[in-house]
Amino acid sequence: MDILILGLLLVRDAERLFGPGDLGGVKPRQVLELLVLARGHAVSTEAIAAALWAEGREPHNVTATLNTYVCVLRRSLFGSCRDRARRTIVTGPGAYRLDLEGITLDVARFDDLVLAAQRSPERPHRIRLLTEAVGLYRGPLLEHARYDEWVQEERTSYEDRMTRAHLDLARDWLGEGDRLTSLRHAELALRHDRYSEEAYRLIMVANYDLGHHDAVRRALERCRTVLDRDLGVGLSPETSRLAACMQARNCTADLLERFYPQPAIRVPALAEGSVA
């Protein structure tokens, strides 16, 4: 079974495909999402209740209600295969958990790929790993649950990780001499974080090397405007130094050595994982 949450929830099991509306209702779907985000760890009934209901709005019998939701969820996913249903969505003392045996999660694969890239000293290998990682992205994590407060922190975390992965790809493609691909990844990084000065700097360097000096100036002004208008801050010293070096017509090799020394990968710390 594959469970994808980078975008709309999607569950693939053999020939069957389940979307957010195929799991017996909003609450059973949210129970599954909470268990997926727990990555196989038990989630207490108290934690689930806190996510599903506002304080003071819980049902009279939380345990019985959650048991009903879990039964609905099991039936929606597994039909009459009750043994498999109970083995996969496990009921424990005051808690539930998702048994990950036989289940692949797109977020786990993403984390493993990024961690492997962080550890790799070889640029082509990093590019391959990170390209596969960003290819898993179909949209913001649990995109359909945009108003559910309990998912906001995880969603922001993965937007930050996606930004970092695109920035690192932009840096590595610069090192490979592919300025157009570097530009593409820097622009994609800005889609995830429009305040990323590093993305603007990468756009400036790639355009500078292509001889597109008007594009360099536009990127700098774009950065300056966004930061001033939305955040009330000016350019960072690093961005200002880069602009000064370009105005002085420093060669691209000097810019790369000064502003983008190896190693390029600086991703957030993640849980241990492995990539085949």
- So what's the pLDDT on residue 264? 47
Bridge partners, residue 92, by sequence = 95
Largest interatomic CA distance in the chain: 72
- So what's the pLDDT on residue 271? 45
DSSP 11: E
CA distance 155 to 189: 15
CA distance 153 to 41: 18
Q: Could you report the per-residue pLDDT of 7-65, keeping only the tens digit for each?
A: 999 999 988 999 999 999 999 999 999 999 999 999 999 999 999 998 888 898 999 99
What the block records as the tokens of 8 is 């709309």
CA distance 220 to 50: 45
pLDDT: which is higher, 251 or 46: 46
Q: Could you report the per-residue pLDDT of 91-146, keeping only the tens digit for each?
A: 999 999 999 999 999 999 999 999 999 999 999 999 999 999 999 999 999 999 88
Q: Could you report the per-residue pLDDT of 134-158, keeping only the tens digit for each?
A: 999 999 999 998 888 899 999 999 9
Is the Cβ–Cβ distance between 231 and 196 less than 8 Å?
no
Q: Could you report the per-residue pLDDT of 50-78, keeping only the tens digit for each?
A: 999 988 888 989 999 999 999 999 999 99
Q: ω before 20 within 30° of 0 (cis)? A: no
Average per-residue pLDDT in the chain?
91
DSSP 268: P
Closest CA to 266 of 130, 168, 126: 168
* Domains of the chain, earliest start first: 2-102 (1.10.10.10), 105-259 (1.25.40.10)
Bridge partners, residue 2, by sequence = 12, 104
Is the Cβ–Cβ distance between 117 and 105 less than 8 Å?
no
Is the Cβ–Cβ distance between 202 and 167 less than 8 Å?
yes
pLDDT over threshold 70, residue 263: no
